[in-house]
Amino acid sequence: MSLSPELVVLARAAASNHALDFTFSVSSVIYAGTALVGAVVEQESAWDTHAIRYEPAFRTRYVAPLGLPPTEEVARSMSWGLMQVMGQVAREHGFSGKFLSALCEPASGLDIGCAVLASKLAAVAGPERPGQGITLTEDEVARALQLWNGGANPDYAAQVLARLPRYK
């Protein structure tokens, strides 16, 4: 799928709505948090709004013990949309839509994805950060990205950060 200007605008708006309008430096280049959202989207879905992925290990470890109805259990065990947010994680961050497939709608998926990303950044940088006018270190951003990824890919942060120049 090709990158559309409309999706970039939606991504930047969602980032701003969740206080992801901070700055950080990578290799002496200053980036906005909105660029980070674009890089995550590219890494996770290549800007394919309909991207989904079933995660059986996630289902076994986190979702099956909840005793949910079968359809909800499977849906919560999938990653959805542009930012590939796990259904269970979306529920934990307030997504209350009847169907998790609604996370493939760009505005909805980006909103929840940015809320989750903001929580990962806050977990490594402290609750008062990030926010407007705040500068994060490259290490803080990299640690937040590893939390986002769940640690499954040790190169994840470097892969996302390498995509940043396209979203400056």
Rounded to an integer, the average pLDDT of 30-34 is: 91
- Which residues are registered as beta bridge partners of 29? 26
pLDDT at 166: 92
Contact indicator for 73, 59 with CB cutoff of 8 Å? yes
Q: Which residues contact 106 (CB under 8 A, 6 or more apart)?
A: 7, 10, 49, 81, 82
Contact indicator for 58, 42 with CB cutoff of 8 Å? no
pLDDT at 19: 85
pLDDT at 135: 81
Digit-coded pLDDT (tens) for 104-160: 999 999 999 999 999 999 888 876 665 556 788 899 999 999 999 988 899 999 999
pLDDT at 125: 81
Q: What is the pTM of this model?
A: 0.93
SS (H, E, C) 18-80: CCCCCEEEECCEEEEHHHHHHHHHHHHHCCCCCCEEECHHHHHHHHHHHCCCHHHHHHHCEEE
CA distance 70 to 65: 12
Give me the phi and psi of 123, to 5 degrees please: -65, -35
Tokens 């542009």 appear where? Answer: 82
CATH number at residue 93: 1.10.530
Structural domain range at position 128: 5-167
Mean pLDDT over all residues of the chain? 92
CA distance 86 to 88: 5
pLDDT at 7: 95
CB atoms within 10 A of CB 59: 19
Strand order in the sheet with 23-26: 29-32, 23-26, 135-136
Between 128 and 164, name the one with better pLDDT: 164
pLDDT at 128: 63
- Which residues are registered as beta bridge partners of 23? 32, 135
Q: How many domains does the chain have?
A: 1
